[in-house]
Structure 1
Amino acid sequence: MPTDDFPRFGLGTYSDDNRNQWAEIVESALTIGYRHIDTAQVYGNEEYVGEGLEKASVPREDVFVSTKTVHVDVPGPSPDTEDILEAAKGCLNRLGVNYVDMLYVHWPVGIYDHETVLPAYDSLYEEGKIRHVGMSNFTPDLLDEAREILNAPVFAHQVEMHPLLQQEELHQYAYEHDHWLVAYSPLAQGEVFTVPELQEIADKHDVSPAQVSLAWLLSKENVAVIPRTMNEDHLQSNFEAQNLELDEDDIRTIDAIEREKRCIDPDHGPWNA
């Protein structure tokens, strides 16, 4: 299974507003012990994430920084190779870094063209501007297509994943093709607090349903999590979920949850095609 120096517990940084707060939040997260920070060009906060990285007393090489580019909402015609290279350069400049540990293709729809985008990612990988290549919001067929084009290995695939969207097919795909599955929205945007099975397990262990959800994801061999929060108390409690050991009955109970909810479900999602 994938190993390398990939911290399985990270901080997601999406927000609609108050983006400047991410400088303080990222600094606090790194002080707590987080070593994986995830952002994206379209989030509009890379500059502030970079400020947090700079302010924290943690060496750059000890922090796994990932960002994303190529997004469906980018206006204009499909990008050419130079457009992709410039977009990636912009990410590095805003973050204030010489390289990122991983650059994701954000959405494989809209302006995305695999025959243009992926060779540009290969170039960035070969130049050392990105240490790893990742995909986000892909289907198995689109992952197959990407793997046929890329020379660089697919290191990770980032998708919404939590007890109400267990992503069995993509989890199995990641296992078979030896890459990480990175779970965004691992708390189902708060829906985990409404799931009786999670609350019962939380009561059993004297923890929160959020910690149960995170611990369940971390019980999967090749899954990483990037919960998003701008609350410093939640930063700490989420981080402590790594210390929660669910027993086999707990995991079976969560695996058997039949209720399903996808929180991030835009019309352009490739699963809606």
Structure 2
Amino acid sequence: MSSNSAVRVALVTGGSGGIGRAVVERLAADGFAVAVHYAGNAARADETVRQITESGGQAIAVGGDVADEQAMTAAFDAAEAAFGGIDVVVNTAGIMVLSPIATLALADLDRMYRTNVRGTFVVCRLAANRLRPGGAIINFSTSVTRTQFPSYGAYVASKAAVEGITLILARELRGRDITVNTVAPGPTATPLFLEGKSQELIDQIASMNPMGRLGAPEDIAQTVAFLAGPARWVNGQVLFANGGMA
């Protein structure tokens, strides 16, 4: 592995599937060396790494629970050992359990908060201490913080917390030349989103924005690439990547 400091390095949590994998592939195509983080699916992460390296890119897989400080410290250590430092951290790891607030199992609430809030906080805390100047921290929320669909209450609450962390951390990193932003996707055609939905429902959701389609993971990855690269004057913001959905 090269430790050439001219190569920008990204660590992507949840990088083995859905939006995370699209982000990994886009950043690798943009010339980043990428640490592909996974929680449970090592085989999928390894396959992503293999595809990148066979295409001439640089990538490694790093595992662990994002809410576990020791595991994530080890992931940061591995990325730094392989590539010489870290410039960009993208927090796509998250879980979503949908239920009316009145009937949500509190164990599911705790599970979402552990991954979505504590996990984001742990990774942001490490990134705040370890990113090189010129770096970027990119967190993930959801457009449902605006659309307020029923059954998303606990999930939206966890993502509102992520937005709060983002906005404060951006101000706390004054003088470090590190931007901190959040991407808030709308409905995006990932396997997780499409699972269990009828074509009629998918078409209905797709019609909710002026573009008349669902987002593709690549659409979200393009927004991340903008924040990870040229967008140095965008800081402390929530970018809604949803095709114009309210």
Return the TM-score normalized by structure 2.
0.41
Relative to the length of structure 1, the TM-score reads 0.38
Structure with max Cα Rg: 1
